[in-house]
Amino acid sequence: MKRRQFLKGAGLGAGVVAASVAAPAVVSAQESLNWRMVMPWPKGTPGLGTNAEKFAAMVKEMSGGRLNISVFGAGEIVPPFECMDAVEQGVVEMAHGTPYYWQGKNPALNFFSTIPFGLTAWELSAWLRFGDGQKLWEESYAQFNVVPFYAGNSGMQAGGWFNKEINSLDDLKGLKMRYAGLGGEAMRRAGANVTMIPPGEILPAMQSGAIDAAEWVGPWNDMAFGLYQVAKYYYTPAFHEPGPGLEIFVGKDKFDALSADLQAIIRFAAQAISENTLADFTFNNIQSYQPLIDKGVEVRQFPDEVIMTLAEHSKAAVNEIAAKDDLSGRIAASYLDLVKKAARYGKEFEATGLLHRAKVWGY
Amino acid sequence: MKRRQFLKGAGLGAGVVAASVAAPAVVSAQESLNWRMVMPWPKGTPGLGTNAEKFAAMVKEMSGGRLNISVFGAGEIVPPFECMDAVEQGVVEMAHGTPYYWQGKNPALNFFSTIPFGLTAWELSAWLRFGDGQKLWEESYAQFNVVPFYAGNSGMQAGGWFNKEINSLDDLKGLKMRYAGLGGEAMRRAGANVTMIPPGEILPAMQSGAIDAAEWVGPWNDMAFGLYQVAKYYYTPAFHEPGPGLEIFVGKDKFDALSADLQAIIRFAAQAISENTLADFTFNNIQSYQPLIDKGVEVRQFPDEVIMTLAEHSKAAVNEIAAKDDLSGRIAASYLDLVKKAARYGKEFEATGLLHRAKVWGY
């Protein structure tokens, strides 16, 4: 049934292509490829699904209609957390996602998304393109027979919504919260009662009192979810997600079979969409922040005692991942080397500049 | 003579293309275009010239050799500050540069590069792609009959090299310094004796005592220039260049005459190189910072009194530009609206996160 559903979708896509794109004279109709890209989020999700669609449009435009990618949201062809399997098994040619969604296969994949107190959006891209990041990522994904491309970032996320102030470590103890990834692990080690519930259930779970706190993304997406209706205190920023990376990955056999120009078009369209995606989140988070506060939200930052304890727990969790095997150790060493150097640079350049600017403009 | 020099260069470029790229069978040799791109910096300048070359390589790869761009450094075809004129007059098809180099034509072009206490790299891209930035830029460049594309950023720059500490406004009075753009104007209004000398003359001018202070770019480029040899105090960051934007621009008639797929390839290659360029500066600035400090450099930040006074002078200069004409006013209003919103967001998300991270990693 899924297969039939897919064929129907692909047929529809092909029709749209024929109607809207005049193929260059040099390419005959039968030479055009129709590919499918799955995603772990619904079609049209702001910043995520929308940029996957833009990527497909870029590829179509640059290839003069020779490579047409139809985009499918969560559950349309495969369930959200089976996108990697679908590409690995050749059910679809490619996917849009984020590496830590496949951490069940390999916890070191967290490094290619984000880790607590880790790289910012622009630093993650720096590590991938100019450090060893991309090489190590390709080595990791070779196990699944897929080729990864960095596809952008949601920027520094928010620390989440709390129904009481967090003034000390004691305030975290026993607190029921939805907290993702290694940040959730650090919260658990600090005594919180962490459960991972799907995004769509966060609001009702907060409303019913099933949880006391939850983190989602940042002002733009948090506003859309209406989380200000169920919690008064908004903690900024996310200690655990300073710059979560997105990805596009392609089945290796499918990629290798493409002509050199189409390979280049995929590679550089992914690079272009990575720029667009960070710009999208940056613009919309900035635009959403004051309107969100105007709904009566109280902005807070975690006190130093809480930050430093969460950092110790995070480092312990990261070190356990690094100790798993040789490749995980090499990934961690390369990433952490850059983070440690970036820590001073980021404080004395970007943080200082942003604080000066805030003062100059009245904050 | 310049014309002859150019023809010689283009002939050489065409030979290289024929030898190294196998054109796809669908494109006959006579269909390939050979374009020239000029730059205001020397060929091979780290981060700048190197990324212009990468852009040309991206276009060649994605077009299957149908569009070959030869890159020329400062003075090879035209003098550095005549790149805009060269494209406007059709001497060459395109250029790599930064908008405030053409501020003599229109001071409002500063907004598309950077202004004091303005947008960061990622925010500038947000304004261009999701605010009114790109539309206003195209309207500005239509006067020169060229089409602009954002091509990246050098990130938050450094405040420069000083041979004495700046502890108060009095320390700036009469100080002879090399300081670029609106930052130089703010320094002048604060009582400094500002001269603009070419990059290659900064080191000897500091050595001879002709100037007491100079700003250039950031740790990567400042290290390469050896500026640590002639001044002890390094001020971070640049109040005046929080995220200077780069550009690629194309003669409008040339661009309009391209097929739709080649237009898309230029547009998205520029977007891809914009991501690459920021990653390049980010990676190399971070890697260069500690080695630079290890040369005996003392890192300082301007005191609040100095920052707030430079801000008042900067705002006055910016307001004078905004008052020049209707378009300048609309550019300033759109840009400043985003800066003011970003000021609070950047403090409570990015600056806070960067300070937490610094503490966690020992800074």
Contact between B128 and A279 using a beta-carbon 8 Å cutoff? yes
Q: Does the beta carbon of A19 lie under 8 angstroms from any beta carbon of chain B?
A: no
Q: What are phi and psi of A149, to 5 degrees?
A: -130, 135
Q: What digits encode the pLDDT tens for the residues B319-333?
A: 999 999 999 999 999
Give Cα A353 distance to the centre of its chain.
Answer: 26
**Is the per-residue pLDDT at A22 higher than 90?**
no
Q: What are phi and psi of B73, to 5 degrees?
A: -80, 175
Task: Name the 3-class secondary structure at B228.
Answer: helix
**Is the per-residue pLDDT at A199 higher than 90?**
no
Q: State mean pLDDT over A128-148.
A: 98
Which B-chain residues 288-347 have CB contacts (< 8 A) with chain A? 289-290, 299, 301, 304, 307-308, 311, 338-347
Closest alpha carbon within chain A to B270? A272
Query: B206: burial class by Cβ within 10 Å (0-12, 13-18, 19+)?
Result: buried
**Is the per-residue pLDDT at B184 higher than 50?**
yes
Per CATH, the number for A2-153+243-283 is: 3.40.190.170
Q: State mean pLDDT over B177-195.
A: 96
Contact between A341 and B290 using a beta-carbon 8 Å cutoff? yes
Confidence of residue A198 (pLDDT cuts 50, 70, 90): confident
Contact between B24 and A269 using a beta-carbon 8 Å cutoff? no
B260-293 vs A121-130: helix crossing angle, rounded to 10: 90
Give the percent of chain A with pLDDT over 70. 92
Give the percent of chain B with pLDDT over 70. 92
Contact between B237 and A117 using a beta-carbon 8 Å cutoff? no
Please give the pLDDT value at position A9. 34
CATH class of B2-154+243-283: alpha beta
Can you read off the two tokens belonging to residue A278? Answer: 């960070």
Please give the pLDDT value at position A329. 98
Place of tokens 């949201």: A73
Residue B3 CB partners (closer than 8 Å, separation 6+): none
Please give the pLDDT value at position B319. 98
Spatial distance between the Cα atoms of A290 and B305, rounded to a whole number of angstroms: 28
**Is the per-residue pLDDT at B171 higher than 70?**
yes
Instruction: Give the lowest-confidence range in A23-37, A102-116, A195-209, A329-343.
Output: A23-37
Average pLDDT, chain A: 92
Cis amide bond preceding B99, omega within 30: no
Chain B CB contacts of A27 under 8 Å are: 26
**Tell me, what amino acid is at B112?**
F
A30 vs B116: which has the higher pLDDT: B116
Please give the pLDDT value at position B199. 81
Place of tokens 């300070």: B355
Spatial distance between the Cα atoms of B126 and A152, rounded to a whole number of angstroms: 13
Residue B221 CB partners (closer than 8 Å, separation 6+): B46, B47
Please give the pLDDT value at position A1. 30
Confidence of residue B289 (pLDDT cuts 50, 70, 90): very high
Give me the half-sphere count of Cα atoms (radius 13 Å) on the Cβ side of residue A37: 27
